[in-house]
Homo-oligomer: A and B are copies of this chain.
Amino acid sequence: MNIAEGLTALWNTTGLMNIILPADPNLKGFEQILHMHGQWMMILICLFLLWLGIKKQFEPLLLVPIAFGGLLSNIPMPPGEAIAGPTGFLGIIFEAGIHKGLFPLIIFMGVGAMTDFGPLIANPKTALLGGAAQFGIFGALLMAYCMFGFTMPEAASIGIIGGADGPTSIYVTTKLAENLLGPIAVAAYSYMALVPVIQPPIMKLLTTEAERKIQMTQLRDVSKREKIVFPLMILILCVILLPSACPLLGALCFGNLCKECGVVERLSDTMQNALINIVTIFLGLSVGSKLSASQFLTVQTLFILLLGIIAFSLATAGGVIMAKIMNMFSKTKINPLIGSAGVSAVPMAARVSNKVGLEANPQNFLLMHAMGPNVSGVIGSAVAAGVLLALCH
């Protein structure tokens, strides 16, 4: 090898040479453009996602790694050496952590170890609000399946965006429609960050000023024993009724039991910190590695983004309307604003309820009341995920 040859070899590996791929004679029109220009377009999109994460603080803990993973996976590399390929850095992590389903479950453990089910135990009926909010999942599924031509497993994965629960979305999509993982993850986390924007207009539209002013009575104290028994009870119910939801709910309950039982604080601390952080880094990067042009720059992605916002809106509406229905039959009224917290997106949705409530009545602190539907929304989404995994597999 002399200098000229070496320079040529090096030049041929540069991104300048490969960022625009040569035309493929078998492709036409838009597909051809995508094939040729997809990589640098994806790099721009990932930079936009980074901006959303850093500047707009859209769930930055996930969106920054996802977007960076997307950047890395769209680097033009010689075939067989792509960072997201089977022997590449991100490809290996994806295979070990996402494809086999470990990472979302570990994150769910951490979520369990951070969640306080006390407000739900103190006011069990608010669980119904978390159930009604799952209407977002099935409404979006129905539309995706009947109107947008997705297959049933794809439609189920898209619908689950309405669960407003990142790890659940990633877990279900990996099992049912891995090809849509990139756009679904991006949609799920983006819309979770947009909860304070999406929800308030819907909440105000569906409630009267008087309803928004309803004050709720102080929650009762919840004893330690109840908090310890609760995760076990959920798991047993899940075992009896819906085993397919058990990996997700089992991980959640394990984390929560470790938190509440008070004798394994070392483990609970680790789940809430070192472990969840490490897994978040790798989950984000490797989910991002699925942001390839051929899978992301499609009309399907637009549909997914559209269906995702529909799912969030339906979920919000479902929770609020359920609260109003419950008020028809119950003497102790609940403020329908806490219904919107049933979408999960813990604890942002509960904060939105609180904020809108304070606007109507400055003495009306709904935060703790909204935590009940909020955490039951997590359980509800996991149950819905179990149903979809059982039926659409």
Given contacts A243-B18, A263-B57, A264-B64, contact A281 B277 (CB under 8 A): no
Interface string of A289-330 (1 = CB under 8 A from B): 000000000000000000000000000000000000000000
Contact A19 B239 (CB under 8 A): yes
Contact call B54/A261, Cβ cutoff below 8 A: yes
Show 9 A/B contacts (Cβ-Cβ < 8 Å), sorted by A. Answer: A13-B242, A60-B261, A60-B263, A68-B257, A87-B100, A270-B277, A270-B278, A274-B274, A275-B278
- A144 CB-CB contact with B under 8 Å: no
Which of B16, B100, B239, B263 meets A53, CB within 8 Å? B263
Residue of B nearest to A40 (CB): B239
Q: Whose C-beta in chain B lies nearest to the C-beta of A5?
A: B391
| Number of copies of this chain that the complex holds | 3
Residue of B15, B47, B235 near A243 (CB, 8 A) is: B15
Contacts of A241 in B (CB 8 A): 14-16
The answer on a CB contact under 8 Å between B266 and A270 is no
Given the known interface contacts A240-B15, A270-B277, A275-B281, the answer about A264 and B61 at a Cβ–Cβ threshold of 8 Å is yes
Known interface pairs A83-B246, A264-B61. Does A71 touch B271 (Cβ–Cβ under 8 Å)?
A: no
Stretch at the interface among A21-29, A72-80, A132-140, A182-190: A72-80
A75 B243 Cβ-Cβ under 8 A: yes
Given contacts A16-B241, A75-B243, contact A257 B89 (CB under 8 A): no
Given contacts A16-B241, A53-B263, A54-B263, 6 further A-B contacts (CB under 8 A): A65-B264, A71-B239, A71-B250, A75-B250, A76-B243, A274-B275
Say if the beta carbon of A280 comes within 8 Å of chain B.
Answer: yes
> Closest chain B residue to A285 by CB distance?
B254
Residues of B within 8 A of A101 (CB): 89
Which residues of chain B are within 8 angstroms of A281 by Cβ–Cβ distance?
109, 267, 270-271, 275
